[in-house]
Amino acid sequence: MSPAGGGAFYKDYPQTCDPEDYWAQVGRTVNGKSVPQEQIDLIVTAVRAGLEFADDDLFLDLCCGNGALTTHFFRLCRGGLGVDFSAFLIDVANQRFSHRPSEGYLLDDVIDYVRKADAAQAAGFTKALCYGAFQYLDHGPAVEFLSLLRRRFPGLKRLFIGNLPDKERIGNHYRDQPPPPGIADRADTPIGIWRTADEFRALAASTGWQCRISQMPPAFYGAHCRYDALLVPT
């Protein structure tokens, strides 16, 4: 995503965290504390079920952060690439979570990457993930992102976009107070843009994807106001 979006927070914030607290570095916290391993296991299970990894898959993780989540999926296929705009997080990823020559992490804005990726490399990716970050794209960049993935990455069989804020359940997040006016439509906030499942389906359809919405189990810390989307080419 572009540093101009709400995700810009994650460009510098990770450097304020404990160097070994990988989940805090990417904001996977509740009340300021990193979520327990049981929560990460729920994410991994959902992504694995959606992407249906095979040994010969080449995996692309867009907005990969420090690679702590990415590495769970690299091990399920022949390798892949993680892309993120935070130099600090990419340095952590390459030092701690790159285990084979077929795995790597690239410092780049993901919109720029999908625009300019080498055509031969782009064609090789078969599964892709964007977890907890898509909501920081304004409408125009979001359309471009999905359109470019559909057009320039023809080998993609499945694209998982996870942890999307659900506008229909925004009240569950703000609870006893009304949401600030206009907050649901702003990418430059800590949560980003809230979209209903129908709005996301329409966005996916307009860019060449068929979309299936799913919910995390009730035990997941974001289940009360988030959903996941699995996209397949139309």
| pTM for the full predicted model | 0.94
202 Cβ contact partners less than 8 Å away, ≥ 6 residues apart? none
Query: Please, is 190 exposed, middle or buried when counting C-beta atoms within 10 Å of its C-beta (0-12, 13-18, 19+)?
Result: exposed
Contacts 24+ apart (CB under 8 A), 217-223: 217/42, 219/38, 219/42, 220/39, 220/42, 220/43, 221/30, 221/35, 221/39, 222/163
Q: Are 8 and 137 in contact (CB under 8 A)?
A: no
- Count the helices and strands in the chain (H runs, E runs): 10, 9
Angle CA(126)–CA(27)–CA(212) in degrees, nearest 5? 40
Local confidence pLDDT in tens for the 234 residues of the chain: 444 455 666 677 787 788 778 888 888 888 888 999 999 999 999 999 999 999 999 999 999 999 999 999 999 999 999 999 999 999 999 999 999 999 999 999 999 999 999 999 999 999 999 999 999 999 999 999 999 999 999 999 999 999 999 999 999 999 889 999 999 999 999 899 999 999 999 999 999 999 999 999 999 999 999 999 999 999
